[in-house]
Amino acid sequence: MRAIKSMAAAVAVASCGASPLVTASSNSGGGTTTAAIPADLAVNVNKIVYDPGTTPGGGTIQIEIASLDTTPLTATFTRDASLDVTGYKAFRMQEDALDRMFIALAAESADGSVRAATVGDGGQFNRYFAGGYYERDGAFDAPPVNSATPGSGQVSYAGSYAAVTNVGLAAGGPTDVTLPIPAGTDPSLTPSQPARVAGDIFLNANFADSSVNGSIYNRVIVDSGFSLDDVILVAATIDGNGTFAGTTENPAQVGTGTYGGIFGGTDAAAVAGVVHLEEFESTWTNEQEHGVFVLTQCGLPGSAPICATVAP
């Protein structure tokens, strides 16, 4: 049976150096606002072009990542619905059996205003490469704030969360899509497929005081069913362009990483962003997770069931 390496031993791979601030661009139409992605979220990603397509099985993604992935530098990944995580389309790239194996997870909001993606490989030769991006079509349009109305400008967002990790998978299991390794190949040459994470995410945003915070919960490694701790998204500031960047903690208030994103649509109907976690499981070492979220504002069509418990 397939097993996740770090459940039996420490994760042996580490991320390469962070990229400078990058911008992401889209081929989905005019008016796209490209946000400066913080270096600790972009990490190795230089550019992503995501088109969700018009069918559940469709979509395309092109990624330029500072790594040993493919030639040309901007690679067109292969759509692979077998790797989808709830709410997110999956794509993969591996040029040959001894090259790194990458998985990308991406989504666009229901109104088409924002999109985000994350990508990573499972590790090879003691290193792995990963990162994420987010973007918006059009200008930032905050919800109206009326100081005379209690709760005005306070809104919630909820939905699914997905991620890839450097917790590489052992070969040969039911979710393994790496290319077959020739018999007799030395194990030190073998690339790993990144494990995928699924979960739920909830955000509260107050546009009167320009702040956002929330939680990622029900986190589980899709490939094994292994449960992971919740992640707290510590309160961060929403800037004048509708973007935000903050830190994450575990429930014991120990820092675990960073998150960031961008609001889009009419009255900030949607939000998209990415997460980068480090050392998030106490029994593991050097583990990292690169997550993505694309959420609808509570009270709008298609919002998550948990939205029934919050004020409209």
Asked if residues 304 and 296 have their Cβ atoms less than 8 Å apart, the reply is yes
What pLDDT shows up at residue 23?
36
Show the tokens assigned to 86. Answer: 């709830």
Q: How far apart are CA 161 and CA 201, in angstroms?
A: 6
**What amino acid is encoded at 75 in this protein?**
A
User: Domain range spanning residue 278?
Assistant: 5-309
pTM score above 0.85: yes
pLDDT at residue 25 above 60?
Answer: no
Mean pLDDT of 137-144: 91
pLDDT at residue 71 above 70?
Answer: no
For residue range 238-258, what is the model confidence (pLDDT) as tens digits?
Answer: 999 999 999 999 998 988 999
For residue range 161-206, what is the model confidence (pLDDT) as tens digits?
Answer: 999 999 877 666 777 888 788 888 888 787 888 999 999 999 999 9
What pLDDT shows up at residue 65?
87
Q: What is the 3-state secondary structure (H, E, C) of 169-213?
A: ECCCCCCCCCCCCCCCCCHHHCCCEEEEEEEEEEEEEECCCCEEE
Spell out the alpha helix ranges (H) of the chain: 5-8, 39-42
Q: What is the CATH number of the domain that holds 170?
A: 2.40.160.90
Burial 137-176 (b: 16+ CB within 10 A, else e): bbebbbbeeeeeeeeebbbbbbbbbbbbbbbbbbeeeeee
For residue range 209-221, what is the model confidence (pLDDT) as tens digits?
Answer: 999 999 999 999 9
pLDDT at residue 3 above 50?
Answer: no
**Going by C-beta distance under 8 Å and a sequence separation of 6 or more, which residues neighbour residue 141?**
242, 265, 266, 267, 268
Bridge partners of 92, per DSSP, are 78, 103
Domain total in the chain: 1
Q: Using 50, 70 and 90 to split pLDDT, how confident is the model at 144?
A: confident
| Distance, C-alpha 182 to centroid of its chain | 33
For every residue of 131-142, DSSP letters joined together read EEEEEEES---P
Q: Using 50, 70 and 90 to split pLDDT, how confident is the model at 237?
A: very high
What CA dihedral angle connects 118, 273, 165 and 182, to 10 degrees? Answer: -10
Q: Using 50, 70 and 90 to split pLDDT, how confident is the model at 22?
A: very low
Mean pLDDT of the chain: 84
Out of 53-62, 170-179, 245-254, 278-287, which region has the weakest mean confidence (pLDDT)? 170-179
* Other residues' Cβ atoms within 10 Å of the Cβ of residue 282: 10
